[in-house]
Amino acid sequence: MTMVARAAGVSVSTVSHVVNGTRPVAPATRQIVLDAMDRLDFTHRPVARSLAAGSTTTIGLAISSLSTTYWPELVAGFQEEARRWNLQLLVAATAEDNIHEERAVANLLAHHIAGLVITPAPNWQDTTLRLLREHPIPFVIVDRIQDVKADQVGVENETSSAAIVDHLIQRGHTRIAMITGLEGLTTTEERRAGYLRAFRHRGVEVDPTLLVPGGSTESGGRRAMVELLARSDPPTAVFSASDSMTVGALRALREANLTVPDDMAMVAFDEFPWGDAFEPRLTTVAQPCFAIGARAIQMLRRRLEDPSLPPQTLRLSPEIVHRSSCGCR
């Protein structure tokens, strides 16, 4: 506020009155202060008076979404572990957009969070990561492992993707399509690498046209499946790389009056709560979402206690849950 006062040519108390609304300020003077705030990119910290300046026990969560089956279980892991250590959580959804993510993290920083857990959006290096380096606080990267020196926790994507695609190859499928996730995410790259690795391992040639983007959304998964079914030589099996895309792909199959696995074998990354409840009974890669969330909080607490510790990267093993959608009994 001192910088704003100097730029506006007013007293610090006048800036405080404008920011906090503690006393009326002449409209012209108020506008001069607001203009100075805008030029300096000044953000008022909307923090309760009970929170003193400096470190608190509040942890920020910047995650891409609260929808789909993956994220709520992850957040449950965050919450349970935070409760054990009497940590408060502030949650912001970033919508897989690095600009929106940067603003969300800036808002969390304005609330004097002691540390941050983040699932980075595509291209976050140019926005959010830069912000975190300018305003350094301890942070843990979750789900999307990055090439940065920071504590990170996620799942083993490549090996598990290779294993589930290999299962389809062993079932006799050679034309196996993959509906890939949002570009720019390390999870998308790793799961695609696992798909290709399975073919190399079995000496089966890959048709690159069978890798179709689904954008990690339900509508994207539906479009991808519609495109695959429209081909003159469609695949006999599909690997969907996220739960949202799987729902969309299944919708497209139903609209085409095709059944799983009789007309199309299908496997998917991410487990569903209803995966064993009705047809098709999906064969999936089940991530330990709750454990990932809990580990992230443990790592952040460890970092808060001792900032000098070397960064740690954890890869937890998922479980392949075999059901009937792959063609197995």
Residue-level pLDDT, tens digit, the chain, 329 residues: 888 999 999 998 898 888 776 678 898 998 999 899 888 887 665 443 433 444 448 999 999 876 667 788 899 999 999 998 889 999 998 988 999 999 999 999 988 899 999 999 999 999 999 999 988 899 999 999 999 999 999 999 999 999 999 999 999 999 999 999 999 999 999 999 999 999 999 999 999 999 999 999 999 999 999 999 999 999 999 999 999 999 999 999 999 999 999 999 999 999 987 767 778 899 999 999 999 999 999 999 999 999 999 999 999 999 999 999 999 97
| Confidence at residue 21, expressed as pLDDT on a 0 to 100 scale | 66
d(CA 223, CA 229): 10
d(CA 2, CA 182): 44
Phi/psi of residue 270, each to 5°? Answer: 90, 130
| Confidence at residue 51, expressed as pLDDT on a 0 to 100 scale | 38
| Confidence at residue 65, expressed as pLDDT on a 0 to 100 scale | 73
Check: CB of residue 146 under 8 Å from CB of residue 152: yes
| Confidence at residue 52, expressed as pLDDT on a 0 to 100 scale | 40
42 token code pair:
């000044």
| Confidence at residue 47, expressed as pLDDT on a 0 to 100 scale | 40
